[in-house]
Amino acid sequence: MYTTIMKIIKLKEVGSTHTYLKEYIKDNTYTQNVCICTDYQTNGIGSRGNTWSGVKGNLFFSFVISKKDLPKDLLLQSASIYFSYILKDVLKENNSKLWLKWPNDFYLNDKKIGGTITTVSKDLIYCGIGLNLISVNEDYGKLDIKINSNEILKSYFDKLERKYLWKQIFSDFKIEFENSRKYKATVDNKKISLENAILNSDGSIEVNNKKVFSLR
């Protein structure tokens, strides 16, 4: 029996689901896990302070979850990969060939189609996800299947409720990480090749003698 209940609030338009959610929790206090979703985000938050807005018709959602509702072996620095990979699995079950580039970017072939940002506040974890369902521009791709966003979110949160162990998720991600080696990641505001990166069991990598965590 699963006890986590996710309250889903749908908005026609919002600047940032992540910012809206944090303000919502600030104003209403945390009483249950909450998700804010929309198909039109005008001022989204990306990694390293970048924006991720997209266009109307894409999928944007942010949710807050209590630490106690996560598997006991999940370290906070692994949360971004954990949340991302579970969504990747849901989409894979719907025949998508999307894959996860370290640490938290959704790719189709060689083009980014979305990403995840995860932040921690006391006993709560906030996760925001953006996914291109339609074309944005030539630099970015879009999902290779047609989806019903409501059904995908339901499937996604159902999987989160099952509290799959990080060990189980990581064993799958470790294989997929090989796809990331031909790409670069931003470390200390510099693009660093992942070709020779060492993936640690907590989801961090060691590159150029520096340990870099996925949470951001």
pLDDT tens readout for residues 38-63: 998 887 665 544 555 567 899 999 99
Q: Is residue 184 part of a domain?
A: no
**pLDDT reported for residue 51:** 52
Q: Which of 34-38, 73-77, 185-189 reaches the highest mean pLDDT? A: 34-38
Phi, psi of 66 (to 5 degrees): -75, 145
| Three-state secondary structure call for residue 19 | helix
Q: Is residue 120 part of a domain?
A: yes
**pLDDT reported for residue 97:** 98
pLDDT (average), residues 33-39: 96
**pLDDT reported for residue 208:** 83
Cβ neighbours of residue 144 closer than 8 Å, sequence gap 6 or more: 96, 97, 98, 108
Q: Is residue 213 part of a domain?
A: no
**Would the pLDDT of 103 be above 70?**
yes
> For the chain, what is the domain count?
1
pLDDT (average), residues 74-89: 95
**pLDDT reported for residue 209:** 84
Q: Is residue 18 part of a domain?
A: yes
pLDDT band at 190 (very low <50, low <70, confident <90, very high): confident
pLDDT band at 4 (very low <50, low <70, confident <90, very high): low
**Would the pLDDT of 98 be above 50?**
yes
Domain enclosing residue 153, as ranges: 6-179
What share of the chain has pLDDT > 70, as a percent? Answer: 91
In 3-state terms the chain splits into helix, strand, coil percentages (rounded to 5) of 30, 30, 40
Buried-exposed string 158-174: b where 16+ CB fall within 10 A, e elsewhere:
eebbeebebeebbeebe
User: Which CATH number goes with the domain that contains 138?
Assistant: 3.30.930.10
**What would the pLDDT profile of 119-165 be if each residue is shown by its tens digit?**
999 999 999 999 999 988 888 999 999 999 999 999 999 999 999 99
**pLDDT reported for residue 20:** 96
70 and 33 in contact (C-beta within 8 Å)?
A: no
Q: Is residue 203 part of a domain?
A: no
**pLDDT reported for residue 3:** 43
Q: Is residue 1 part of a domain?
A: no
Q: Please report, for the chain, how many H helices and E strands are present, in that order.
A: 4, 12
Q: Is residue 195 part of a domain?
A: no
**Would the pLDDT of 104 be above 60?**
yes
Pairing of strands 111-121, 105-108: antiparallel
Query: Average pLDDT of the chain?
Result: 90
Cα 40 from Cα 22, distance rounded (Å): 18
**Would the pLDDT of 2 be above 80?**
no
Q: How far is CA 105 from CA 10, 12, 44, 46, 73, in A?
A: 24, 25, 15, 10, 23
Phi, psi of 9 (to 5 degrees): -115, 120
Strands (E) in 122-160, as ranges, are: 124-131
**pLDDT reported for residue 136:** 83
Q: Is residue 127 part of a domain?
A: yes
